Amino acid sequence: MEWPVLKQLKNGDVLGLGSTAASERTEQLEARTTKADRVIASVCPYCAVGCGQLVYLKNGKIIDLEGDPRSPISHGCLCPKGAATFQLVTGSHRVSDVLYRRPYGTEWEKIPLERAMDMVAERMKKARDEHWEDKDEEGKPLRRTMSMAHLGGATLDNEENYLIKKLFTALGIVQIENQARI
Amino acid sequence: MGTSFGRGGATDFPGDLVNSDVIVIQGSNMAECHPVAFRWVMQARERGATVIHVDPRFTRTSAVANLHVPIRAGSDIVFLGGIIRHILETEQYFREYVVTYTNAAAIITEDFRDTEELEGFFSGWDEKKGQYNTRTWMYEGVNPEPAGGARESEAGKKAESIQRQPIQAEKTDPTLQHPRCVFQILKRHYARYTPEMVEEACGISKELFLRVADTLCKNSGRERTGAFVYAVGWTQHSTGVQFIRAAAIVQSLLGNMGRPGGGILALRGHASIQGSTDIPTLYNILPGYLPMPKAQHDVDLETYLKLNESPSGWWGEYRKYFISLMKAWFGEAATEENDWCYDYLPTLTGDHSHMNTVVDMVDGSVKGYFVMGENPSVGSMNGALQRKGLRALDWLVVRDFQVTETADFWRDAPEVVRGEVKPEEIPTEVFFFPAAAHTEKDGSFTNTQRLLQWHHKAIEPKGDTRSELDFIFKLGQRLKNLYRNEYDQPRNWPIRDLTWDYPTEGILNEPSAEAVLHEINGYTVADGKPVEGFTSLKDDGSTACGCWIYSGAYRNGENQAARRKPHWEQNWVAPEWGWAWPHNRRVLYNRASADPDGRPWSERKKLVWWDAQKQRWEGYDIPDFIVERPPSYRPSREARGKDTISGVDPFVMQADGKAWIFAPTGLQDGPLPTHYEPQESVMPNPLYPQQCNPERMEWLRKDNPYHQPFDDPRFPYLLTTYRLTEHHTAGGMSRWLSWLSELQPEMFCEVSPELAMERNLKNGGWATIRTMRGEIEARVLVTERIRPLRMRGRIFHQIGLPYHWSTKGLVRGDAANDLIGFVADPNVAIQESKAFTAMIEPGRLSKAHYKLKKLPSREKDRDLPRAQNKPETKHGYKAFEAKEGNV
Amino acid sequence: MAAQKGFFTDTTLCIGCKACEVACKQWNQLPDDGFLFTGMSYDNTVHLGASTWRHVAFVERPVPMKPGNDGAFSWLFSSDVCKHCARAGCLESCPTGAIIRTEYGSVYVQPDVCNGCGYCIVNCPFGVIDRREEDGRAWKCTLCYDRLRADMQPACAKSCPTESIQFGEIAELRERAEKRVEKLHEQGLNSAYLYGANAAQQPGTEGLNAFFLLVDKPEMYNLPPNPTVPTKPAKAAWGSMAVGVLGLALAAIGSALLGGRERAS
């Protein structure tokens, strides 16, 4: 170990309040982003300004999420919500199980994803088959079911909205809506 | 916007606001709701632009604006009408622009009557139907049969649609003197929207109004431009579409459309709200704003196409877009012989928008409901009615990051907590699926400037968390499986023939989002090669395209939305960052940035221009015009489709290529914006005997009661709702985060010191706010930012309510939307939540439920008798039969 | 030694969005400060503390922004932060050497050294540094020391949408700030002035490495009008006694060093 007084003199740190007092941790301090093994370009999921985001990853975990300076829209800035995106996507509030509440139930139950998907598909078929409208009173074609409806889409991707509209329209569902009217 | 200029999207991008000389922010709290876009407003201000904020509240936007104009909530058309009148009276309009690029010179039919003549109605009001017959609003000499509902209108309430004629003014008067030309009609329509009227109706001084009007006029013309910015502060009114129309008129008169630093910006609140309209999760349109077939008229493909394709303008190409869509959806099954599977599509019989769906739920016809990334129990109006609807379902599927109030409505809704409803009595089966975040999936968002940007998957979703893409794809596979043995029935053929073979990838076998984008972009059927753009689409079945306006987003097989060339390597338009529809154009109608001869109006405001040597349009932006069409081109009388667009028609999506100051077709509630009071107001309409928009959508039901139209002694205060920087809409993406929650930790109401005195409210204490729909409690924030309005010698108080909170999350509070009733704009079915009346009292919510004293009905005061006697089947609402225990 | 870095916070460009508060929490992974509705305008984090290293103050004033403006009201926003004083009370009072001045001129608390004695807290004239309940140690803004090492700007300055928070070399920032004040004066905002831009303006701290442009009295922003580092008068006293105590001091240092070597070996 170097003698502190010598170190102080060498560094011009006479009062010993500067680098002389730096601990090993301090000396090795670096931004965690420099250790990232991948940086992924993304877009802020909150409002429609569409600020650029960079997602820093290490060992398959998000270690940082901040503005993308290249973006002509945001020049690297984010608002408080955009800046909180890290917490939005990594936070402990997120649920990762499928939950089921049976009719008249008082509790949520965990059920397997595959089973839940099967159950939903079966219920859709039942509703469609039991409530199909082929023609109106005047004999004009309806080809639809009014027994099912959808809400949401403004937070989803274009590709997702496309599949929703495509599948549901093919099933004859017309009551498809999102936040554009909210 | 669609009606005025041809497309529903924002005409400019926020970054271009740095080029503005004046920016009017009205119906938007831009600094709070879009802080990063506001960066450009601040830069414009620092460069000398005047920033004007017109808003009932003094917000963070007002704090940094050069001028704050505190108008009464809902009085915007009086204010903008006053500006229109001022522009006309002082002759400060941009004459050359107005004469050539707008329909100001068009002559309207002899039968047209203005609201000035008919006490607040336009000609054509049909008492029996309770709606307008719009034929008298047409250009003279054009077949007076009214055209169908607005093509881009999001609701299309009327399921009627009559054959489209070439809507082009047959007779014009370029001198603008003809008494029936649009310009003169406009003058007469707004003659009474004087500065004195503005003072009386908006509650601001004449002097302040004139300063705004003068600043706007002085900063427009060849050398200067001004921009308007709006958001839901305009759309969420029963006359919301007409608010935007009024701004469109101002901008057309001042010559600000299609020019740098000009235009009208719509600021949207969700990452892909523009995208979810373009590729709609909306009932009335198919991708690319193609209308859904209507049962009443669109009986077969030929009729449907005939009714929707326009003989003039860009919509002459309709057939190509529709047939390519059917090829994308039904693949080989779609052939010319079977009308490209046209009869696979369901049809509409009226308004099937959100509020009607909720009412249908309550009334029992909806069995199953999917809610993906939305929280209607908190975010939609009349929360009690929403939850009543959820309780009446057989099953509900909610997909979100965490269990939202909507998913948990059976357990901790206010009605359950109050003990009015018990979980054991609620039959609804609920499925909650955890949703993947944007970092866990590939896909594109379309932002407020119509720009598609790709976000790449960074990590795998945890546990059972999945993207909607994966969910819908696998649900579709299951349904195909379930119907496998029932393909003998024609009704199941659409399921059988639906193209659903997307390649999958990764450990979760998720469908490839890029493959979906490839289909959206379109491809040639023979070899699957992506098409270059919508101009490559064919009507012979040789091309498939999922959304024609997005065609080009995957040109050359390259994901254009994923382009990320740094801004410092390109000009301010940044054409190589992401991809904007249409055709990567960033400033819509930019042909108008050049004069009729194709020269920039000025060097300072140069954007695109006609290059005579190259014989094509050139510029900083991609020309929003037929690139090789010279300014001198004039169509022949026989011309059809896009050949009808002359060299001086910048608004190529309009049938006549002009900006519509007067809307001869496309709107339900009038060709010119007219001031009507909100459904619930504090004063009678100062301009007309007709109190409210006669075409507004109402739901007359016991579970959706309204207050008296004005002066309701039980509800004397004006209430407006809004959001804060620190939270996101209904809070699903903010109330669970500590970093945001600590910044605004509790539901509060904002009141002026005067109202606090009058109602004995203490800062930091509690208040109860009440309407006929519900009552909520909130903390009190007494602030001078809320000011009492002085109108007609009386003082009116306003209450401000953010709407982010509810029963779950880290921070909680009552939901403001529980106070709001169902009332909506007739054109787009957007609810009125920015202006209504309420009562406020000190203290917390009383345990004993407050019972309202019944007043003798004064419903008749709201409308003239003729508007009042609207048939009850109108607007999709149903006469409500009071049943025992149903209220 | 690297160039001296700091912040120039121009409050006339602030829109009160609090992006800086959240960006700081994200980068430094700070916990929340409790969920308390204060009823003080839109300010619910109230002041800087162990877990809030950027804090936006909201000032509602019954006076117009500029004379002649409409309405007798204005709303001021100011993003407060550790000032990284040229003479830092926290640093000088720290008995453990936990607080150091970095090569960028910023004042940095080394969490691995801090023992939570709390002397720094009483010696900060701005009330910036604070002890966190859970771990007992003192925390404050680091000027994103780790990011500076990687040639990145501090998280708050990067996120600020309106460039109210400007990060850079202090000399350059000072020059820019002075020009800005001149420009604002030309525009009629005569109340604009710099707070703590140099030693002459603020002798008690010998100038701030994070200084501000304000348009009202410092007290309005919850800033002390005339802050003085408590160790400063103490040091002057030390100076006069220096000769007398030199021997004693040397002896003390010697024994401390010996002790140090012994511990180290």
Residue with tokens 């680091």: C142
Q: Is it the case that residue B865 has pLDDT exceeding 50? A: no
Q: Is it the case that residue B170 has pLDDT exceeding 80? A: no
Q: Is it the case that residue C44 has pLDDT exceeding 90? A: yes
Confidence of residue C177 (pLDDT cuts 50, 70, 90): very high
Q: Calculate what percentage of chain B has a pLDDT beyond 70.
A: 92
Is B765 within the bounds of a domain?
Answer: yes
Identify the closest residue of chain C to A86 by CA–CA distance: C26
Confidence of residue B162 (pLDDT cuts 50, 70, 90): very low
Q: Is it the case that residue B377 has pLDDT exceeding 90? A: yes
Between B505 and B870, the higher pLDDT residue: B505
Q: Is it the case that residue B256 has pLDDT exceeding 90? A: yes
Domain ranges, residue B829 = 697-876
* Least-confidence region, from B340-354, B632-646, B846-860: B846-860
Q: Which of B742, B869, B722 is nearest to B801 (CA)?
A: B722
Residue B34 and residue C152: Cα distance in Å, rounded?
A: 25
B430 touches chain A (CB under 8 A): yes
Q: What is the mean pLDDT of residues B543-570?
A: 97
Q: What is the mean pLDDT of residues C28-57?
A: 96
Q: Is it the case that residue B153 has pLDDT exceeding 60? A: no
Q: What is the mean pLDDT of residues B489-501?
A: 98
Identify the closest residue of chain B to A112 by CA–CA distance: B464
* pLDDT value of position C81: 98
Query: What is the phi-psi region of residue B481: left when phi exceeds 0, alpha when psi lies from -120 to 50, beta otherwise?
Result: alpha
CATH of domain C5-229: 3.30.70.20
Q: What is the mean pLDDT of residues C35-60?
A: 96
Is B589 within the bounds of a domain?
Answer: no
Question: Which partners does chain A have (≥3 C-beta pairs < 8 Å)?
Answer: B, C
* pLDDT value of position B309: 85
Kindly list the residues from chain C whose CB atom is less than 8 angstroms away from the CB atom of residue B203. none
Identify the closest residue of chain B to A148 by CA–CA distance: B368
Q: Tell me what the pLDDT averaged over chain B comes to.
A: 91
Residue B558 and residue B317: Cα distance in Å, rounded?
A: 26
**pLDDT tens for each residue of B639-687:** 888 899 999 999 998 889 999 999 998 899 999 999 999 999 999 999 9
CB contact under 8 A, C32 and B742: yes
Question: Which partners does chain B have (≥3 C-beta pairs < 8 Å)?
Answer: A, C
Kindly list the residues from chain A whose CB atom is less than 8 angstroms away from the CB atom of residue C112. 23, 25-26
Strand partners, B748: B779
Interface of A with B in 95-154 (CB under 8 A): 95-106, 108, 112-113, 116-125, 127, 131-132, 134, 136, 140-154
* pLDDT value of position C249: 47
CB contact under 8 A, B277 and A160: no
* pLDDT value of position C232: 75
Kindly list the residues from chain C whose CB atom is less than 8 angstroms away from the CB atom of residue B781. 39, 41
Residue with tokens 């009719």: A103
Identify the closest residue of chain A to B521 by CA–CA distance: A159
Judge whether B801 and B818 are in contact, CB under 8 Å: no
Residue C262, classified by CB atoms within 10 Å of its CB into exposed (0-12), middle (13-18) or buried (19+), is exposed
Q: Which of A172, A144, A175 is nearest to B357 (CA)?
A: A175
Q: Report, as ranges of residue numbers, the positions in chain A whose pLDDT lies below 70.
A: 1-16, 182
* pLDDT value of position B6: 86
Residue A169 and residue A177: Cα distance in Å, rounded?
A: 12
CB contact under 8 A, B745 and C76: no
Q: Is it the case that residue B411 has pLDDT exceeding 90? A: yes
Amino acid at B213: A
Q: CA triplet B743, B745, B748: central angle to 5 degrees?
A: 115
Is B39 within the bounds of a domain?
Answer: no
pTM surpassing 0.80? yes
Q: What is the mean pLDDT of residues B565-581?
A: 96
Sorted by where each starts, the structural domains of chain A and their CATH numbers stand as: 1-30 (no CATH), 33-94 (2.20.25.90), 131-181 (no CATH)
Interface of A with B in 78-97 (CB under 8 A): 78-84, 87-89, 91, 93-97
* Least-confidence region, from A43-57, B154-168, B411-425: B154-168
Identify the closest residue of chain B to C58 by CA–CA distance: B60
Q: Is it the case that residue B150 has pLDDT exceeding 50? A: no
Q: What is the mean pLDDT of residues B283-297?
A: 95
* pLDDT value of position B194: 98
C18 touches chain A (CB under 8 A): yes
Confidence of residue B543 (pLDDT cuts 50, 70, 90): very high
Q: Helix, strand, or coil here: A106?
A: coil
Q: Which of B157, B131, B160 is nearest to B147 (CA)?
A: B160
Q: What is the mean pLDDT of residues B239-267?
A: 95
Instruction: Provide the domain count of chain B.
Output: 1
Q: What is the mean pLDDT of residues B587-591?
A: 96
CB contact under 8 A, A71 and B577: yes
Q: What is the mean pLDDT of residues B89-109?
A: 97
Judge whether B227 and B260 are in contact, CB under 8 Å: no
Confidence of residue B847 (pLDDT cuts 50, 70, 90): low
* pLDDT value of position B762: 97
Is B732 within the bounds of a domain?
Answer: yes
Q: CA triplet B717, B721, B722: central angle to 5 degrees?
A: 145
Which residues, at least 6 apart from B92, have a Cβ–Cβ distance to it below 8 Å?
A: B86, B217, B220, B254
* pLDDT value of position A9: 55
* pLDDT value of position B321: 97
Domain at B843, CATH number: 2.40.40.20
Identify the closest residue of chain B to A100 by CA–CA distance: B431
* pLDDT value of position B160: 36
* pLDDT value of position C95: 95
CB contact under 8 A, B42 and C15: yes
Kindly list the residues from chain C whose CB atom is less than 8 angstroms away from the CB atom of residue B779. 37, 39
* pLDDT value of position A4: 53
- Chain A / chain C CB contacts < 8 angstroms: 102
Interface of A with C in 128-157 (CB under 8 A): none
Burial C207-230 (b: 16+ CB within 10 A, else e): bbbbbbbbbbebeebbbeeebebb
Kindly list the residues from chain A whose CB atom is less than 8 angstroms away from the CB atom of residue C108. 26
Confidence of residue B164 (pLDDT cuts 50, 70, 90): very low
Q: Calculate what percentage of chain C has a pLDDT beyond 70.
A: 86
Is B872 within the bounds of a domain?
Answer: yes
Identify the closest residue of chain A to B356 by CA–CA distance: A175
CB contact under 8 A, B401 and A93: yes
Q: Helix, strand, or coil here: B125?
A: strand
Residue B449, classified by CB atoms within 10 Å of its CB into exposed (0-12), middle (13-18) or buried (19+), is buried
Q: What is the mean pLDDT of residues C38-53?
A: 96
Q: Is it the case that residue C241 has pLDDT exceeding 60? A: no
Is B230 within the bounds of a domain?
Answer: no
Q: Which of A77, A90, A93 to mutate against chain C (most C CBs within 10 Å)?
A: A77
Residue with tokens 């039904």: B330
C147 touches chain A (CB under 8 A): yes
* Least-confidence region, from A53-57, B464-468, B753-757, C258-262: C258-262
* pLDDT value of position B312: 78
Kindly list the residues from chain C whose CB atom is less than 8 angstroms away from the CB atom of residue A87. 26
Please tell me which of the candidates C35, C39, C75 has its beta carbon nearest to residue B779: C39
